[in-house]
């Protein structure tokens, strides 16, 4: 962003080189990258920063399967590996822990044919899960590598133990990002500030009752981004995305926070610091109340208690529900709007947001500044790809 491109406010307006709409995990990382580049930025959220789906409980950082390797899988792998250093820098700058740990993952194999498939994936991981001298593995084992964490009977045909998967404490990471930004020189924060009258062609918006002129706007408002983008994209035959409800719970137990994440049939059991285990999550396309929990979550809790002995009598200390953004083509939705080049999408992360947000945010900051980040986004992530899918 060159200074000559800065918006020129008229009387009664304020200006910012960059307006970020949405203060969840995507918008916060975008603001961090903007600060690093010295870009004058305003980040605004209708509530408090990180108060939506980003303020959940799980924090699973799960890789794709290592088979049928693709540009998308390579991008996610690189992002998961690079996140470790990003969080270390963030923790050093903020003085706060993000609750990050590369704890790995256990996948029970209840049927013999799954063991055969898993052994093939093990060879795939040896080929593809490489980052310089670092190697990550997809081991197939007969018994869990940690005694007492999961019932041996859950994996009648063995277990996968991968060493790439990690986890983060969502609220701790959000707190570290916010703490970093509150000390930033180039970023201004507006909470409880609705954005209305967004005009990407003129480069203006009403933000919390204040008229703001901008050079670029990054739309990172989660599922609320979709109707805004829809209104700026005529001729679509289906929505660009939708909210998907997820439910999760936090249990209190005397457990080692280094234990690997358990994944089985959509159930995650994640050990966190402080003697907590997070359980989730549902994926509900239809729902009445986006923030209420119900029998679907109770079923997940019971399933977890059935395979994790230490959780049998563990009390539930919190139940949570929220809405995650799922783009029409499921992948994240990133890039300049083809008809409104000042407007840049940064949404649609759905279940992979925490593992990719730092890298996607870096990409959109590079896009806004017409810079080369040194890496390519997968074609399926481009907003133009999603617009094409919604036009069919």
CA atoms within 13 A on the CB side of 48: 6
* Angle between helical axes of 112-128 and 71-94 (0-180°, round to 10): 70
Note the pLDDT of residue 12: 59
Note the pLDDT of residue 13: 78
Note the pLDDT of residue 2: 42
Percent of the chain with pLDDT over 70: 97
The residue with greater pLDDT, 11 or 263, is 263
Round the average pLDDT of the chain to a whole number and report it. Answer: 95
CATH T-level topology, domain 98-166+242-327: D-Amino Acid Oxidase; Chain A, domain 2 (3.30.9)
Note the pLDDT of residue 3: 41
Mean pLDDT of the 27-46 span = 97
Residue 10 has pLDDT above 70, yes or no: no
Residue 11 has pLDDT above 60, yes or no: no
Confidence label for 8 from pLDDT (cuts 50, 70 and 90): low
Confidence label for 283 from pLDDT (cuts 50, 70 and 90): very high
Percent of the chain with pLDDT over 90: 94
Confidence label for 15 from pLDDT (cuts 50, 70 and 90): very high
Tens of pLDDT along 132-173? Answer: 999 999 999 999 989 899 998 999 999 999 999 999 999 999
Residue 324 has pLDDT above 50, yes or no: yes
Note the pLDDT of residue 166: 98
Tens of pLDDT along 91-116? Answer: 999 999 999 999 999 999 999 999 99
Tokens standing for residue 103: 């704890």
Range 3-54+172-241+329-391: architecture per CATH: 3-Layer(bba) Sandwich (3.50)
Residue 9 has pLDDT above 90, yes or no: no
Nearest C-alpha neighbor of 224 from the set 179, 321, 290, 294: 290
- Terminal-to-terminal C-alpha distance of the chain: 35
Residue 372 has pLDDT above 80, yes or no: yes
Note the pLDDT of residue 336: 97
Note the pLDDT of residue 4: 38
**Radius of gyration, CA atoms only, the chain:** 21
Note the pLDDT of residue 219: 98
Residue ranges per domain, the chain? Answer: 3-54+172-241+329-391, 98-166+242-327
- SS3 of the chain: the string is CCHHHCCCCCCCEEEEEEEEECCCHHHHHHHHHHHHCCCCEEEECCCCCCCCHHHCCCCEECCCCCCCCCHHHHHHHHHHHHHHHHHHHHHHHHCCCCCCECCCEEEECCCHHHHHHHHHHHHHHHHHCEECCEECCEEEECCCCCCCCCCHHHHCCCEEEECCCEECCHHHHHHHHHHHHHCCCCEEEECCCCEEEEECCCCEEEECCEEEEEEEEEECCHHHHHHHHHHCCCCCCCCCEEEEEEEEEEEECCCCCCCCEEEECCEEEEEECCCEEEEECCCECCCCCCCCCCHHHHHHHHHHHHHCHHHCCCCEEEEEEEEEEEECCCCCEEEEECCEEEEEEEECECCCHHHHHHHHHHHHHHHHCCCCCCCCCCHHHEHHHHHHHHHC
């Amino acid at each position: 962003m060159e200074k000559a491109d800065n918006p020129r406010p008229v009387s009664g307006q304020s200006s910012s080189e960059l307006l970020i709409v949405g203060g969840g995990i995507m918008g916060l990382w975008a603001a961090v990258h903007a600060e690093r580049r010295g870009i004058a930025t305003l980040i605004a959220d209708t509530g408090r920063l990180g108060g939506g789906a980003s303020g959940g409980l799980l924090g699973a950082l799960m890789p794709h399967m290592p088979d049928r390797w693709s540009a998308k899988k390579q991008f996610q792998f690189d992002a998961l590996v690079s996140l470790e250093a990003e969080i270390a820098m963030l923790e050093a700058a903020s003085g706060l822990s993000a609750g990050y740990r590369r704890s790995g993952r256990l996948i029970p194999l209840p049927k013999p044919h799954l063991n055969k498939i898993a052994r093939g994936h093990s060879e795939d991981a040896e080929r593809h899960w490489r980052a310089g001298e670092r190697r990550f593995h997809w081991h197939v084992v007969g018994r869990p590598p940690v005694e007492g964490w999961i019932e041996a009977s859950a994996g009648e045909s063995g277990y996968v133990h991968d060493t790439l998967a990690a986890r983060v404490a969502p609220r701790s990471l959000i707190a570290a990002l916010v703490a970093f930004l509150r000390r930033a020189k180039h970023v201004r924060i507006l909470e409880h500030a609705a954005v209305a009258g967004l005009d990407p062609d003129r480069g203006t918006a009403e933000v919390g009752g204040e008229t703001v002129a901008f050079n670029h706007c990054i739309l990172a408002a989660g599922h609320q981004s979709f109707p805004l983008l829809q209104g700026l994209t005529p001729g679509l035959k289906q929505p660009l995305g939708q909210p998907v409800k997820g439910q999760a719970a936090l249990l209190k137990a005397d457990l080692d926070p280094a234990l690997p994440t358990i994944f089985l049939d959509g159930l995650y059991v994640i050990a966190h610091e402080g003697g907590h285990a997070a359980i989730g999550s549902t994926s509900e396309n239809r729902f009445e109340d986006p923030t209420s929990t119900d029998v679907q979550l109770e079923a997940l809790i019971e399933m977890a208690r059935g395979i994790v002995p230490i959780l049998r009598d563990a009390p539930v200390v919190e139940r949570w529900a929220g809405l995650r953004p799922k783009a029409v083509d499921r992948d994240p939705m990133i890039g300049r709007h083809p008809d409104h080049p000042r407007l840049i999408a940064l949404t649609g992360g759905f279940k992979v947001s925490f593992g990719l947000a730092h890298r996607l945010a870096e990409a959109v900051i590079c896009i806004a500044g017409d810079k080369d980040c040194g890496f390519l986004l997968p074609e399926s992530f481009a907003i133009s790809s999603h617009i094409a899918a919604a036009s069919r």
